[in-house]
């Protein structure tokens, strides 16, 4: 029985480290070659964690769109736009109860085809808790490629 309690505690700690792509929002139009700001927020948590790496990438979706064809849990990384440190911070006293976040400026590839949909993917690796268990998470938002 203790085994299941420990397993549940580890799962809860890992779940508490979740990130979200706060911006751009789902369905936002992006142009080929455009520079965009990606706001990656991390859920508030009481458990300790050490950030290891963050990847921001894009994956091309099938003609049916990302909702029907892309599974973030499958671990698809696609074309990497950013790879490196992740250090989410609170940005003002007014945001004490808001989630810490970090903004990243990335360039959309010039080869994107207007009319298609892409998944903007954030892949987050961290070490969680006193035992430093690994936590890997993929999350995404679908974006629409638009023409000039």
CATH number of the domain that residue 73 is part of: 2.60.40.10
**What pLDDT, on the 0 to 100 scale, is given for residue 4?**
37
Per mean pLDDT, which range of 9-23, 30-44, 45-59, 112-126 is the poorest? 9-23
Structural domain count of the chain: 1
pTM, two decimals, is 0.83
CA-CA-CA-CA torsion sign (121, 124, 125, 129): negative
One DSSP character per residue, 47-84 reads S-EEEEEEEEEEEEPPTT-HHHH--GGGT---EEEEEE
Judge contact between 96 and 90, C-beta under 8 A.
yes
Domain extent at residue 94: 2-145
Segment 99-120 mean pLDDT: 94
**What pLDDT, on the 0 to 100 scale, is given for residue 3?**
37
């Amino acid at each position: 029985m203790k085994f299941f309690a420990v397993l549940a505690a580890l799962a809860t700690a890992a779940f508490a480290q979740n990130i979200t792509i706060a911006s751009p929002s789902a369905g936002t139009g992006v142009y080929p070659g455009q520079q965009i700001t990606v706001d990656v927020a991390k859920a508030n948590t009481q458990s300790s964690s050490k950030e290891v790496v963050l990847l921001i990438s894009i994956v091309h979706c099938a003609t049916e769109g990302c909702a029907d064809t892309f599974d973030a849990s499958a671990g698809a990384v696609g074309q990497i736009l950013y790879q490196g440190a992740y250090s989410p911070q609170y940005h003002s006293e007014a945001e004490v109860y808001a989630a810490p976040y970090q903004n990243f400026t990335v360039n959309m590839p010039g080869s994107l085809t207007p009319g298609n949909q892409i998944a903007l993917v954030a892949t987050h690796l961290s070490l969680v808790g006193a035992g430093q268990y690994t936590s890997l998470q993929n999350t995404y938002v679908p974006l629409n490629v638009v023409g000039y």
